[in-house]
Structures are given as C-alpha cells and as structure tokens.
Amino acid sequence: MQKRQMLWAVGFIITTVLLVPLLMVISQQIAGRDGNPQYGINGERLMPLSFEWQDVAANVHSFPTQKAQYTYLFAGFLSCSEICPIRIQQLYQLETAITKDNDLSNIDIAFMFITIDPENDTFAIRQQMIDERSPRFKSAALQESDLLSLSGRLSENIQSHSPTNNHVGNLYLIKPNGVVARIYTAKQLSTDKMLAELKYDIESS
C-alpha cells in the first residue's frame, strides 16, 4: 500500500512539473484575448505590509526596504506539488521578461519567496532553488507569529503545523511603501498582463 502511495505521489509531482509550462502558455493565450486592463485584484484596501525576515545567511531584514523597490511576493513551501512549482516558474518567467524589457530592466524589482515550512526548506535548499536564480530573488523565513500575522492580513490561510502545509498560494505585487497593489489568484497566470499592470502602476506613481 505504501509503495503504491509513493508511486502515485511521484507520478503526481512529475505530471505537475511537466504541465506547468503548458498551463502558463494556455493561460496567457486566453488572457491575451481579453481586453480588460485590470487583470489582478486590487489589494490597496489591505493594510500595508511590514515584517522582519531572515535570509539564507541568517541575517535579519525589514520589509519593505528603504529603497524604491517593487516586490512580487509569494508564500509557499519547496516540497509542494500543486500551486508552488507553478508560482515559482511564473516568477522565473516574470524576471526573464523584465530583464528583456527596456522600460523595466533598470527598475528595482525583487522576487520574494516566503517559506511556510522553514524546518524542511533549509537555508541550503532555499539558496539553491531561489536565491541563486539571480540577485533579484530572495527567500525569506519569518518567525511563526509574524508568518501567521502576515497570513491573516493576506487571507492566505497558512496552517504552519498542518501535515499538508495548507495555504492559498496567491501572488502579490507590493509597492515600495508596502501597499499591496495587485493580487493574483491561482487562475491568473498571464505574465504579460502582470507586467502590463506593473508598468501602469510605475507610470502612475
């Protein structure tokens, strides 16, 4: 029975990883036909974010920084086989597109992954999977009280002691002052539309 469950789990993870690029392409093609300029959910009604976080070298930082930096923020765990690999791949695609965009390439834009499973998402694993991607990528660990407070503000439903590490898996675009500009649900995977909203927010600020 255990062998069958293990085989099922491995097959599920492989299928999920292989489907990630296909799902994103299909989503962007569908989204491209929609003329609605507002793609994500407006999150400015939420309280601005502010928290302390620890990097892979165990240094403590404050968010937001004192710099004029936009941040794409996602909370999850690196052994996740559902929304997490899709979101991380999405962050990779966003960063690749930004580096090739004449308007965005020189703007300070960061990508922050917050682990909800710091015991298993060790410094070494976070470094390998997130921080080594580029200087724009940061992986963060929060004190449990801060993590649950952040979860409450964002309605992420993070359950840190749950065997399945439950969470919603939204992606957030955060302004330099900590205000949540846009919220992207699991069904919103169009990097083109996300970048269009980022440009609009930058130009209108």
- pLDDT, mean over the chain: 82
Q: What is the pLDDT of residue 52?
A: 97
Q: What is the pLDDT of residue 38?
A: 83
Q: What is the pLDDT of residue 166?
A: 59
Q: Give backbone dihedrals phi and psi of 167, rounded to 5 degrees, phi first.
A: -170, 165
User: Taking Cα atoms as reference points, which of 111, 186, 115, 176 lies closest to residue 146?
Assistant: 115
Q: Give backbone dihedrals phi and psi of 3, rounded to 5 degrees, phi first.
A: -65, -40
CATH code of 2-204, in short, is 3.40.30.10
Q: What is the pLDDT of residue 182?
A: 96
Alpha helix locations (H) across 67-143? 83-100, 123-129
Tokens of 110: 């960061």
Q: What is the pLDDT of residue 128?
A: 95
For residues 1-38, one letter each, b for 16 or more C-beta atoms within 10 angstroms of the residue's C-beta and e for the rest, the string is eeeeeeeeeeeeeeebeeebeeebeebbeebeeeeeee
User: Taking Cα atoms as reference points, which of 193, 176, 147, 188 lies closest to residue 63?
Assistant: 176
Domain spans of the chain, in order of start: 2-204
Q: What pLDDT, in 10s, does the model give residues 132-160?
A: 999 999 999 999 999 989 988 888 877 65
Q: How many CB atoms lie within 10 A of CB 168?
A: 16
Question: Distance between CA atoms of 74 and 5, rounded to whole angstroms?
Answer: 29
Flag whether pLDDT at 116 surpasses 60: yes
Range name among 6-10, 109-113, 182-186 with the lowest pLDDT average: 6-10
Tell me the average pLDDT across 59-87.
Answer: 90
Q: What is the pTM of this model?
A: 0.79
